[in-house]
Amino acid sequence: MTQPILPFLFRPYVRHEFPGWGPLSHSLGILGVDNTDPQWRQAGTRQTRNKRTGMLMELDLSDDVERESYFLGRYYDIEIQMLLDVLLKPGDTCIDVGANIGNFAMYAVHCVGSTGHVIAFEPQPDCCRKIDRHIAINDLSNVDLHNLALGAMPGSLELHVLGGGSIMATLAIDPEVDTNIRETIEVPVARGDDVLPQHLSGDVLLKIDVEGFELFAMMGMSDTITRHKPAILLEVEDRYLKRAGTSVRDLFTWLQDRGYQAWDVATTHSTLTGHRLTLGPVPDLAAFHAIDGTPDLLWLHKDQTTFDPSGFSA
């Protein structure tokens, strides 16, 4: 099958995010979620520069998530990038648990600069090879990559890659629902406290996106969390947590018992002002369940004084 031409003609329009770029991208088949569009299966890999960081990205256009990054010229999750812009500064440390192909980690490198440090954990070998490639083509020396999963106890677990893409990989499945398993890999699991150095420079940001295994990952790095009181960024999906044997209630209880408060991370957008970061307090489960969609929650310790989230309230 020949490679589509029309999407590339409109790429400058999409890259500049002119009004209507989203519906246009959908109509051109640029966007997707499960790698089922046959027109992209032989599209191959292309290299481009991230328009926000200047870093090189080598992206597989047959993968929906990577293709979106190629046409947009940035990591697709705009609110997370804007949050990193205000949370991280040169010299800080970012711990990325569930790094996938490294979009988040590479943006964090841009924020912490050459004096900062990024520590990434990713159990999928194919994803780690892509992160290694991004580290190499950008000549980065301050990224430590660990090809393993984090949990409450060391050992090994089966990692299930669902659907057609790498972004939906999980250590826990529901056999009645997750019937589209593309690949199962046995991966090593470590406790974060056993791998992470005791000294971490600057302020610390911990991001965890592991499809329901978030609480177990935090339990395995409880000493690190107690010592450094990092800002913690989590995508919270109740059905994924339940699939792994926990719940949103368990997550809230564990973090609130350690002095943390949750904030909903979102953006507003207008043609005149563009994107604007907003943070809304999430004091309890009732407030959480009132949020539409799957929220990204920023957890801040009560003793931290370096960031005031109220300044970004809607």
For residues 311 and 178, the model is more confident at: 311
Spatial distance between the Cα atoms of 272 and 260, rounded to a whole number of angstroms:
36
Spatial distance between the Cα atoms of 60 and 41, rounded to a whole number of angstroms:
10
Residue 168 has pLDDT above 90, yes or no: no
Q: pTM of the entire structure?
A: 0.93
Whether the CB-CB separation of 111 and 54 falls below 8 Å is answered with: no
Spatial distance between the Cα atoms of 217 and 195, rounded to a whole number of angstroms:
12
Spatial distance between the Cα atoms of 141 and 47, rounded to a whole number of angstroms:
21
Residues 6+ apart with CB under 8 A from 26: none
Of 248, 217, 244, 227, the residue nearest 93 (C-alpha): 227
pLDDT (0 to 100) of residue 59: 94
Spatial distance between the Cα atoms of 294 and 211, rounded to a whole number of angstroms:
12
CATH of domain 78-312: 3.40.50.150
Name the CA dihedral angle for 229, 77, 53, 104, rounded to a multiple of 10 degrees.
50
- Model confidence pLDDT, tens digit, residues 59-118: 999 988 899 999 999 988 889 999 999 999 999 999 999 999 999 999 999 999 999 999
- Model confidence pLDDT, tens digit, residues 33-64: 777 788 898 889 999 999 999 999 999 999 88
Residue 245 has pLDDT above 60, yes or no: yes
User: What confidence category does residue 128 fall into, taking pLDDT thresholds of 50, 70 and 90?
Assistant: very high
Burial bucket for residue 176 (CB in 10 Å: 0-12, 13-18, 19+):
exposed
- Model confidence pLDDT, tens digit, residues 198-228: 999 999 999 999 989 999 999 999 999 999 9
Spatial distance between the Cα atoms of 271 and 250, rounded to a whole number of angstroms:
40
Going from N- to C-terminal start, the domains of the chain cover: 6-72, 78-312
Spatial distance between the Cα atoms of 143 and 199, rounded to a whole number of angstroms:
16
Spatial distance between the Cα atoms of 4 and 12, rounded to a whole number of angstroms:
16
Percent of the chain with pLDDT over 90: 72
pLDDT (0 to 100) of residue 165: 64
pLDDT (0 to 100) of residue 164: 63
pLDDT (0 to 100) of residue 166: 62
Of 227, 224, 226, the residue nearest 196 (C-alpha): 224
Of 236, 244, 241, 240, the residue nearest 287 (C-alpha): 236
